[in-house]
A and B are shown apart, each in its own frame.
Chain A
Amino acid sequence: MRKTSVQISAALLLGLALIGGACGGRNDSSSAKSTETTASDSKEVAFIDPAADCTDYKGTQGVTGDTIKIGTVRPESGSYAIYDNVTKGLDAYFKSANASGGLTAKDGKKYQIELIKKNDEYDPAKTPALVKQLVEQDGVFALVGNIGTETNKSVRDYLNENCVPNIALATGSTQWGDANAYPWYISGLPSYATEANAWVSYLKEVNPTAKIALLYQDDDFGQSYKAAIEKAIKGTKITLVAKEGFNPLAGSTTEASVTKLSQSGADTFIVGVGGTACPLTLSFVPATWTPMTMISVTCGSKTALSLASGKDEGVYMAQPTLDPADPADQSNPKVIEFATQGAAAGLDESAIQGGIASVGWGFGALFAEGLKNASTVDRAAVMNALYSLNDTTFGLLRDEVTVNTDGAKDPWAIEGFRIVQRENGAWVEKAPVTNEEGKSNSFAGN
């Protein structure tokens, strides 16, 4: 008798599970293979051919009437939550576009953008479930502005197999350069290898016998920098005298590593870590060590550097974008447009000046660019448009930075930097913008 009630309750519990989650339903075998391909338009590089590359291709999933559903995954909580500001900028861009009628497609039709956000806490173990939810349950057209290197890597095979675009990734890991294998990914940042190459090029000019101490995040983000630096210094008199790896998810700080590096006799300190660990690292540098410090692009915002306890003064950076907090850039029309439209879309003063939201704004702009140039509002068409950008610009890129892409030959949109040094919360140019068109993949080490 006892066991019976247990069994009944088990049955009820399972029934509950059915009812509780039944909202999803499946949609695999029912939808016919879409035949909307992009081969016809002569101007476009037909880099992706869904008829050949995809099974069960759903080219217009997420497009209903005049709305396009977009998904994004970012760390809303945890020690990398500073990057949530990127998503705020992305959100503001779409809100601003929606307010003026929507984003325009090639045929002139305007589309409202609905942005669905998920929080993966920068943990690649959590990302796959959330991305699958976005694709299978929420039915998004594409992902835009996804944050994190390992997190984006954890879903790379899934998204590419299912032919779902991942546009303007907020990571410049060298992996995204393999557009032959993974054509549905296009990064919104410059390649970390190109950035590292810019640092080393500048060092070759100002300190050809530099001794580098490198702190790097022990994942793909940091290892991209490390490999590129090692490749770039080969054959020069610059040496890597010390390096320390750092695990961002371990809950410890870089203090011990910085102390160790400070005792290595290096005169150059490269900080290949992101999140709040970067400005904290700067604050850990002992007063007795005064190297030329170079920080990553992901660290160079006003918001991030405000956490460095004043030790951001004098650091160097390779900079591709305009900085809304730098008085020298504030009169640039792109910055003015961002400030006014961003404020109208709900960004507050600190977010506008913070320098992180503007990156997300740029991601929205890159997507808009793809939509504008695509022959139809279809996943493959948008990707093909993004892989054939021609002398354009988007977001808050510096005026001298050129944007060109060409399928797998040149999958990187941003390849230009100038070198700047921090002075009183603003940037002083030390070397002008150099565009390394098409060379990003060649800078990647191994």
Chain B
Amino acid sequence: MRDFLQILLVGIGDGAVYAMLGLGLVVIYRSTGLLNFAQGEMAMFSTFIVWTMWSIGLPMWLAILAGMAGGFGVGALVHQVAVRPVGDPHEKPLAVVIVTIGLFLGVNGAAQLIWGTLDRSLPPLFGRGQVTVFGVAVAWQKIGAVIALSVMVLLFYLLFQHTKLGLAMRAVASNSESASLVGIPVPRLLMLGWGLAAAVGTVAGVFIAPNLGLGTNLMQLTLIFGFAAITLGGFDSLVGAVVGGFVVGALSSVMPRYITIFEKMPLAPAFILILAVLLFRPEGLFGKKQVTRV
């Protein structure tokens, strides 16, 4: 039982990170209507910025803020230059897929060019210590991830529900045509959305890097977990991203341990989840049902 509890808690800690990626994915989906396959690479890129800031002597928390700012810039730039000109994802899905794949390759390559291909080590924000919870040893870092997620969710809540900017962003997400008619600067807000998503991804990267080693392949598998989180939660639901993240984290930690066929494939439960949800309940747990007119 203790074993199971430990595995579960590890999974929840991981799930917090998937939820963070999920938040970014949801923001992008709500504002620009597409699935950003390059989300992981953008997060990796800004995590490298964090490392650079830290390695020149900035304290970790400041480095993270700097990385988030840098990531914000990258996200905004990427939207402006690559995403906006392509057009409506529902009309030209292949073009959008190719563009996000192009971003995936390009951002990854840029990171390799700038920082080389040697793995770097990023120290964990919450140290390597452990604390005993319910008789089980849990790493402080995992608890920290949940705390960081909670802070971000709170900030998002405040932004979207209690600020004019947030209101404008919600208007754009709901109906961008009407929003622009009312005078909301839609393109600028879309850019903001992408920047925000990239900034959130930075935090996810900061929590993953200490264990995996900071290399350019940091997010290649983790991205799929993030997508599983939002598929389960509903592509356009922030709450769904959080719930989905925890569920995916728990499943991906527990199932490979107890079902031998999944032993080397922690990704398998996530994949099955994606498939099952898309087939039987495409709007996920908290998403809005899509209705297509013939």
Which A residues form the contact surface with B (CB < 8 A)? 76-79, 81, 121, 247, 251-253, 255, 276, 280, 283, 286, 307, 309
Contact = CB atoms under 8 A, between A and B. Distances in A.
B117 A81 contact: yes
Interface in B165-220: 211-213, 215, 217, 220
A78 B215 CA distance: 8
Interface of B: 112, 116-119, 121, 128, 130, 137, 211-213, 215, 217, 220-221, 264
A140 to B, nearest CB: 25
B212 A81 contact: no
Given A247-B264, A251-B221, A307-B121, A79 B211 contact: no
A124 B237 CA distance: 43
B101 to A, nearest CB: 19
Contact of A255 (B211, B220, B264): B211
A76 B117 CA distance: 8
Q: Which 7 residue pairs of A and B lie closest in terms of their CB atoms, listed nearest first? A: A77-B117, A81-B118, A251-B217, A79-B119, A253-B211, A253-B212, A255-B211
18 contacts: A77-B112, A77-B117, A77-B118, A78-B117, A78-B215, A79-B215, A81-B117, A81-B119, A251-B217, A251-B221, A252-B212, A253-B212, A253-B213, A276-B213, A280-B213, A283-B128, A307-B121, A309-B128
Contacts of A283: 128
A76 B116 CA distance: 10
Contacts of B217: 251
Taking chain A's interface residues, is the majority helix, strand, or loop, or is none over half, making it mixed? loop
Q: Which of B112, B130, B211 has the most CB of A within 10 A?
A: B211
Contacts of B212: 251-253
A224 to B, nearest CB: 21
Nearest to B217: A251
B116 A79 contact: no
Contacts of B128: 283, 309
A280 B220 CA distance: 21
A412 B227 CA distance: 51
Centre residue among A121, A247, A251, A252 by max chain B CB count within 10 A: A251
A286 B137 CA distance: 10
Contacts of A77: 112, 116-118
B17 to A, nearest CB: 14
Given A77-B112, A77-B117, A79-B215, 11 more contacts: A77-B116, A78-B117, A79-B213, A81-B119, A121-B117, A251-B212, A251-B221, A252-B212, A253-B211, A286-B130, A307-B121
Given A77-B117, A79-B119, A81-B118, A251 B211 contact: no
Nearest to A255: B211
Contact of B119 (A247, A255, A276, A286): A276
Nearest to B256: A256
Nearest to B221: A251
A252 B121 CA distance: 14
A440 B211 CA distance: 37
A286 B130 CA distance: 9
B43 to A, nearest CB: 15
Nearest to A287: B130
Interface centre among A76, A79, A286 (most CB of B within 10 A): A79
A78 B119 CA distance: 7
Nearest to A80: B119
A283 B213 CA distance: 13
A286 B213 CA distance: 18
Contacts of B137: 286
Contacts of A78: 117, 215
A286 B112 CA distance: 33
Contacts of B116: 77
Contact of B220 (A251, A307, A309): A251
Nearest to B130: A286
B46 to A, nearest CB: 19
Contacts of A253: 211-213
Nearest to A247: B264
A253 B215 CA distance: 12
A178 to B, nearest CB: 30
A217 to B, nearest CB: 14
A23 B220 CA distance: 38
A82 to B, nearest CB: 8
Contacts of B117: 76-78, 81, 121
Contacts of B121: 307
A81 to B, nearest CB: 5
Contacts of A121: 117
A291 B170 CA distance: 57
Contacts of A255: 211
Contacts of B215: 78-79, 251
A283 B217 CA distance: 21
B208 to A, nearest CB: 10
A251 B221 CA distance: 9
B205 to A, nearest CB: 14
A251 B119 CA distance: 11
Nearest to B118: A81
A297 B126 CA distance: 33
A271 to B, nearest CB: 17
Nearest to A260: B257
**Which residue among B118, B215, B217 has the maximum number of chain A CB atoms within 10 Å of its CB?**
B118
A145 to B, nearest CB: 20
Contacts of A276: 119, 213
A311 to B, nearest CB: 10
Contacts of B211: 253, 255
Contacts of B264: 247
Nearest to B137: A286
Contacts of A76: 117
A81 B117 CA distance: 8
Nearest to B222: A251
Contacts of A79: 119, 213, 215
A435 B107 CA distance: 52
